[in-house]
Structure 1
Amino acid sequence: MQKFSFSLSEIINGFWRNRGLIKVLVKREVVGRYRGSIIGLAWSFLNPLLMLAVYTLIFSGVFNSRWSNAVHESKFDFAAILFVGLMVHGVFSECINRAPGLIVSNVSYVKKVVFPLEILPWVVFGAALFHMLVSFVVLLMVQAVFNQKIPLTAFLFPVVLLPLILGTMGVSWFLAAIGVYLRDVGQVASMFSTVMLFVSAVFFPISALPEKYQVLLQLNPLAVVIEESRKVLISGVVPDFVILGKMLLVGAILAWAGFAWFQMTRKGFADVL
């Protein structure tokens, strides 16, 4: 019987060992999404550009919405801040919503002993990350046009994303495994991602809440990542590395726990499917 390691180092080693296969599957995932459309992959660029234009027109032009009372806040800033929150949440949401059906929808891989099933959540995350990076480029381009500058701190964005990567992967591995045995988990995951949209400071700053609720929201890793992302992408402020360090630890624990659960339960996948 094949033995599966679930150590934290195996997460890194497994990713590196299968990096070529992950790259091929991510490319197939991204290209497959636009297969059959007239302009193909160009939609990955046009979609965030159009959404950012709509946010700017509706919230800043029609509703005259403002994120804060700062006098230097431009009309574009509210749309950009909202866009960053939705961009970060979008990666998390796509991975969480798809995770419960990953193994069930790839039964042929389960029957192949040599196929590393644990990379399937990496593939989904890679595709979601690709679209986030396109949105990131769109945001910087539009900032250069509206604000005539791009914050230098924007290059710290990958550092801010590290806790999100680890935490999302951990939850994805857990849901992918439990989704094999309990099909209803897909509905729960969808509800969970929707709830997280409203409790992760996507539509409001954490500082706008009463102090007692601010403390609770700061325990939400996704809310922290979104707030720190806005600092580096919009405000040009260096992220709080102490908070990021704590969130990185939480993310590492989630990644290990989810991966361990996946490795311990994968032996029964073939029997159930």
Structure 2
Amino acid sequence: MQTLLSECRAVFSARALVWVLTRREVAARHAGTAVGILWPYLQPLLSVAAYYLVFDVVFSMRLQDGGVPHAVGTFLVVGALPWMAFCDAVSRGMNSLIEAGGMLQKNPLPPVLFTTRAVLASGVIYGPIIALVALAYTPLHSFRLPVVSLLPLMAGQLLLSMLLGYLLAILAAALRDTVQIVGFLLSVGIYLTPILFPLSMFPEGWRWVLWLNPMTALVIGYQQVLLQGVWPPAAVWMALGVWLAVVALALNVVVRRSRDQLVDWL
């Protein structure tokens, strides 16, 4: 893991530059808009509001999650918002090196800085929104002690998005088809995550398929905390740890083997 550790040291050494690049990335998302800095936050918030309005207000739909009834819209928001954050971070991280190709060819900057910038910018936008939703769900979790587990869940999701985004960014530089393939997987991945339905509704013999999605553990963790106010089960932390380890090992190999050719691919 020495290669990956050296990448981490490069990010830490250039942390001031990374923060400047992140602020510019966030600013670029609302450049030229009438509402300015609010626009990146309005888009996911309007999606969340639509879920609540359609399923909870208009249709008043309910579902059973392990014997606990929940409004459908309220249930969807808990999983859909982290999923939107994951898709945004991974997609932008995957395209970060291609978009920064010209700069990397002219400046000897570590490529990891640009992927880190893209993922952190997504975290700056979606992190406060998830915190705001957690406040809105106070009647359900009553600020019981397990709510503090939101912090490691969000940190784990950010780290997973960063590792996966950087891995995919290198693969996309080598093979542009990666962008199309991953885009398709992200579009259908929501159906292979317990976001639209509780895990208990999925056929027990096929539940292992859901765990092939790296967001399954995190979504279950968010649901346990925000909907029931209980600690995420041990399976959530184990699955998250396994995914982080697998992606980190793969990234270590890919970075080591692509270091000399990466700029040429771009």
TM-score by length of 1: 0.85
- 1:153, distance to aligned residue in structure 2 (A): 2.6
> Corresponding residue for 2:178?
185
Structural mapping, 1:182-261, within 5 Å: 182-261=175-254
Q: 2: CA distance between counterparts of 1:148 and 1:224?
A: 19
Partner of 2:158: 165
Secondary structure of the corresponding residue to residue 77 of structure 2: helix
Unaligned runs of 5+ in 1: none
- For the 8 Å contact 1:118–1:173, the answer to whether it is kept is yes
Q: Distance in 2 between matches of 1:271 and 1:148?
A: 52
Distance in 1, Cα, partners of 2:41 & 2:30: 12
2:137 alignment partner AA: Q
Structure 2 contact 97–170 (Cα < 8 Å) conserved: yes
Structure 2 CA distance for aligned equivalents of residues 111 and 218 of structure 1: 39
Q: Does 2:127 match 1:133? A: yes
Q: Cα distance, 1:259 vs. partner?
A: 4.1
Q: Match of 2:118, as an amino acid?
A: V
Deviation at 1:172?
A: 1.7
User: Structure 2 matches for 1:44-59, cutoff 5 A?
Assistant: 44-59=40-55
- With the length of structure 2 as denominator, give the TM-score of the two structures: 0.87
Identify the match of residue 111 of structure 2 among 105, 117, 122: 117
Q: 1:70 to 1:240 in 2, by over 3 A?
A: closer
CA gap of 1:184–1:45, structure 2 versus 1, over 3 A, is: closer
SS at match of 1:130: helix
Tell me which of 13, 18, 21 is aligned to 2:17: 21
Deviation at 1:147, TM superposition (A): 5.7
Distance in 1 of aligned mates of 2:212 and 2:96: 29
Tell whether 2:107 aligns with 1:103: no
TM-superposed deviation, 1:11 = 4.3
* Deviation of the 1:242 alpha carbon: 5.0
Fraction of identical pairs, as percent: 23
Distance verdict in 2 for CA 1:219–1:105, change over 3 Å = closer
2:255 corresponds to: 262
| Unaligned segments of structure 2, at least 5 residues | none
CA contact (8 A) 1:96 1:193 kept: no
Deviations 1:11-68 (A, max 9, x none): 4323322221221111111111111112211224433443332211101122222231
Q: SS where residue 252 of structure 1 aligns?
A: helix
Partner in structure 2 of residue 12 of structure 1:
8
Any conservation in 1 of the 2:147–2:226 contact (CA below 8 Å)?
Answer: yes
Give, in angstroms, the shift of residue 180 of structure 1: 1.7
Which AA in structure 1 matches 2:19? K
CA distance, structure 2, for counterparts of residue 103 and residue 72 of structure 1:
45
Segment of structure 1 superposing worse, 5-14 or 89-98: 5-14
Q: Is the alpha carbon distance of 1:190 and 1:49 closer, same or farther for their aligned partners in structure 2, counting shifts above 3 Å? A: closer
SS at match of 2:63: coil
